[in-house]
């Protein structure tokens, strides 16, 4: 038991030295639960290819969540663009965070030009 205390003494004392550091990691724990449940659900994907497609879908939805983007609005705009021929150089602009920034810039430009 003493080895654990000495080994983690610095990390455990950080929240005492810096008041802004939270003493728990509940946010991270909840993120791990989500990944574990998803992994359990992949067992029923039917095949490896189905699991890969499900992983891609969960990744896109997770990226939308991190970027604060409505996934339905994002997919409604991006999926038709992906069905057309698109250059590899243009793919990064379709990432949820960049897509949201471009939409915000376009809406601010249209609002300033209409006034």
Per-residue pLDDT of the chain (115 residues; tens, 9 = 90+): 455 566 777 777 777 777 776 666 677 677 777 777 777 766 777 777 887 888 788 889 889 988 999 999 999 999 999 998 888 899 899 999 999 999 999 888 876 765 5
pLDDT of residue 81: 92
Residues in the chain: 115
pLDDT of residue 114: 59
Q: Which residues contact 85 (CB under 8 A, 6 or more apart)?
A: none
Residue matched to tokens 């590899």: 88
d(CA 49, CA 51): 5
What DSSP assignment string belongs to 5-72? Answer: HHHTHHHHHHHHH-TTS-S--HHHHHHHHHHHHHHHHGGGSSSHHHHHHHHHHHHHHHHHHHHT--HH
């Amino acid at each position: 038991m003493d080895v654990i205390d000495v080994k983690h003494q610095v990390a455990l004392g950080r929240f005492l030295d810096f008041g802004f550091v939270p003493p728990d990691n509940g946010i991270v724990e909840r993120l791990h639960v989500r990944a574990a449940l998803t992994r359990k659900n992949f067992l029923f994907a039917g095949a490896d290819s189905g699991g890969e497609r499900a992983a891609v879908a969960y990744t896109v939805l997770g990226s939308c969540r991190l970027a604060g983007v409505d996934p339905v609005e994002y997919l409604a705009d991006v999926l038709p663009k992906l069905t057309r021929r698109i250059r590899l150089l243009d793919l990064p602009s379709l990432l949820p965070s960049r897509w949201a920034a471009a939409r915000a810039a376009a809406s601010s430009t249209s609002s300033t030009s209409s006034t």
